[in-house]
Structure 1
């Protein structure tokens, strides 16, 4: 998506190089960020200080979002050009773990966090995040940024919601009915031309109705039967009622991103189901006094599923990298609070450390993550069944969300097309 930037090297600043366990006094780091992005600036500052403190030189290359895809062709060679790579979890899984080219980072968990007496990597990165990056006993990524999905709203405009957010589907739909009557329009914002955004609604309905893992199991059911089972259809009907009842704002089904979410930020609708990047994407359009608040997707019943979906951005090391010990040392170094907190204060995102406060606009989301159960976004389908998700699910789901298919017809068509897909998929 982004062009590769020129590589930079953090100079030693007169310090003496320290040899790590594999004898290396330098390593190469390929990053998913562009050099001018906030995360890159945080990482570069940490690299500069790391070299001053340890003498280990770091050659950093700002490759952009396709970093792991660029690295992939080299992974089974004798000359892997990167010792450390950061990326979103789904790309790290697909290109490193699924191909057997990810180094197991479990030993990194025992490394001490420099400057923090008694703290280790495993002690500051919660197990519930590590577990989502562990496959068959191999820890293939250690996260430094956490993304989740919430229903966003303006706490200034909706103080009653901010004081007591709806916790159940019944409370939520009652609120939507009141807001629809007051507005004369649907209170839910959605740019329907972005398939992934529409997918949030369907995935969360299945998650709330059937629990964690149900969507993933249905996606990979080669018979398609799970996709048209009664429970699956019942979950879809919750969303169908939103569509047929006019709860989505006018024009959502013919919008061009980011028109609807910009109008939402200007107060033209009330709720936006989106990731924790929502504030940064909409802030420049927000009305004066807009107060970013968010709440979890409501449970279908009192005491029902309330888990939060997450995706992670973090560090991986290729199995055939040459300077693995130095790269591991940097992971522990960067996870120190004084370095990692820049991801919150400068890059305006949530870190895995509970003792680093999220930016104010993400405080509700961080609270939901800290207090609740987490599950991998879309049950990891973008990792384990990416082609099915893109070619089979998304087109039909968009038709469903925009009112061209009922819950039952969507489920039947999805089941049929999925069975056909899996017959020919490699």
Structure 2
């Protein structure tokens, strides 16, 4: 959750994990979420290209209809689109012109086009300035993908697209019972470090909180910053860490209750304990200068052996490829257990389908947009993506046999060790207001002496405001 931040070298996990929020898309009573320029119903749709359905064209793509694709230029880059997915689409529809562009600020570039009624056909909605997906769904801007998932796989004989995907993939892009988004990148999240540096210093990734703080003391004594994240634009890395610890302490339902806006979900004892534990890390082991720095600045410091642990998703290695010295070998470890009575084991991880892609319901080539997503979800399309980005996809077995890099191998080992103890949340991509508040509350907690009580109270207050605001569409899982 293709990840994250707003420059061309960034990735929004892409939430992974679909996380972070769009600027200016929060619901205001009586005002359309997309600038009030849109109506609803078929009258708002332009003339849309329609072709004849067949075994080789199950979605009815008009063979010579132009297709426009906009991809977020972040940590994943755009080469996977230009070198893998577009050529695959063109092979099936050689008469079609595919118009491609990239954007570092998706909402800035694309949002006005949705408001103006001329959206691109396929959008990779990611980055720190992604569009509010809940708002797009509420406005009828995202196409229902039910027929895509029911269509035959492009290259897995005898299976529908939905049969080729990892469990939970379709649900991750479902809003109130209908699928509107392909969450494509399978992102694992943990604490990243340089395995060569750790080996040199005989440092062992911790499994318990006592081992964690003892190791951070050693690292601090060696003159390094033990733990860091970028406060300027990557606070959601850290709030994901806090809530991962909360899920380990109290079980995955802690996150489900937050998603569903249950009463006092943010005040759950597990959330408070997690916030207390991480606030102590911020007070003792972090560099306050990182508050004003961006993710790329802090990640570069880790590549330069100034920082030991950095929380991130599995896009990190690819994002830093140009700045990683040959002696630096990425590895990732799960967050350590916070208490001796955690409900989930230390191997449990946050992992989810992320990096949002959708077809525009009011684009000129809706069927082509869905077909493009079918090519992305082919085994060949997914494998090509992984080879170029070092990030796995939601297509089963697409990365089998690939030995791409140390970080990719480490993330794969961590995922296998987690087994069924994998969890995620959805509230951050459902409710922009909560995401904005949690970033600010997290920075206060980690950098500015905030307390766990204040963090929990602050988040619960805003969660209640969202719940009671009839202008904001609610989602449930």
TM > 0.5 between the two? yes
Pair 1:400-2:445 in alignment: yes
Q: CA deviation at 1:20?
A: 6.4
Rounded to whole Å, the distance in 1 between the matches of 2:169 and 2:444 is 34
The answer to whether the 8 A contact 2:106-2:131 is kept is: no
Pair 1:155-2:198 in alignment: no
Alignment-derived partner of residue 344 in structure 1: 386
Partner-residue secondary structure (3-state), 1:395: helix
The answer to whether the 8 A contact 2:143-2:360 is kept is: yes
Partner-residue secondary structure (3-state), 1:150: strand
Residue of 156, 163, 166 corresponding to 2:206: 166
Distance 1:350 1:122, change over 3 A: same
Alignment-derived partner of residue 160 in structure 2: 120
Alignment-derived partner of residue 383 in structure 1: 429
Residue of 283, 292, 299 corresponding to 2:330: 292
Question: How do 1:2-401 and structure 2 match up within 5 A?
Answer: 22=60, 24-25=62-63, 26-33=65-72, 38-40=77-79, 42-55=81-94, 57-67=96-106, 81-88=119-126, 91=131, 93-159=133-199, 165-181=205-221, 183-194=222-233, 195-212=235-252, 214-215=254-255, 217-218=257-258, 225-244=264-283, 246-249=284-287, 251-253=289-291, 258-300=296-338, 301=340, 304=344, 306-310=348-352, 312-321=354-363, 323-353=365-395, 354-356=397-399, 357=402, 359-360=404-405, 361-369=407-415, 371-376=419-424, 379-390=425-436, 392-401=437-446
Partner-residue secondary structure (3-state), 1:207: helix
Cα deviations across residues 125-156 of structure 1 (Å, max 9, x unaligned)? 21222221122321112233233422111111
The answer to whether the 8 A contact 1:185-1:249 is kept is: no
Distance 1:56 1:212, change over 3 A: farther
Rounded to whole Å, the distance in 2 between the matches of 1:32 and 1:153 is 29
Cα deviations across residues 229-269 of structure 1 (Å, max 9, x unaligned)? 4333222111122234x232574456565444322212223
Rounded to whole Å, the distance in 1 between the matches of 2:261 and 2:92 is 52
Distance 1:148 1:425, change over 3 A: farther
Distance 1:286 1:123, change over 3 A: same
Distance 1:161 1:146, change over 3 A: farther
Moved more, 21-30 or 338-347: 21-30
Q: CA deviation at 1:387?
A: 1.7
Greater per-residue helix proportion: 1
Partner-residue secondary structure (3-state), 2:270: helix
The answer to whether the 8 A contact 1:307-1:373 is kept is: yes
The answer to whether the 8 A contact 1:265-1:283 is kept is: no
Rounded to whole Å, the distance in 2 between the matches of 1:419 and 1:20 is 45
Distance 1:189 1:86, change over 3 A: closer
Rounded to whole Å, the distance in 2 between the matches of 1:33 and 1:303 is 38
Alignment-derived partner of residue 43 in structure 2: none
Rounded to whole Å, the distance in 2 between the matches of 1:368 and 1:358 is 15
Distance 1:22 1:321, change over 3 A: farther
Cα deviations across residues 34-69 of structure 1 (Å, max 9, x unaligned)? 59x843454454323433344451432315255567
Alignment: residue pair count: 405
Gaps of 5+ in 1: 4-17
Q: CA deviation at 1:345?
A: 1.8
Distance 1:23 1:261, change over 3 A: closer
Partner-residue secondary structure (3-state), 1:146: strand
Moved more, 155-164 or 41-50: 155-164
Rounded to whole Å, the distance in 1 between the matches of 2:403 and 2:81 is 15
Rounded to whole Å, the distance in 2 between the matches of 1:114 and 1:256 is 40
Distance 1:320 1:420, change over 3 A: closer
Gaps of 5+ in 2: 1-5, 9-55, 472-477
Q: CA deviation at 1:21?
A: 5.3
Q: What is the TM-score when the length of structure 1 is the normalising length? A: 0.78
Rounded to whole Å, the distance in 2 between the matches of 1:314 and 1:419 is 27
Cα deviations across residues 328-387 of structure 1 (Å, max 9, x unaligned)? 3333233333333222222333222333147312222244446445444xx223322212
Partner-residue secondary structure (3-state), 1:308: strand
RMSD, aligned CA: 3.9
Rounded to whole Å, the distance in 1 between the matches of 2:470 and 2:94 is 50
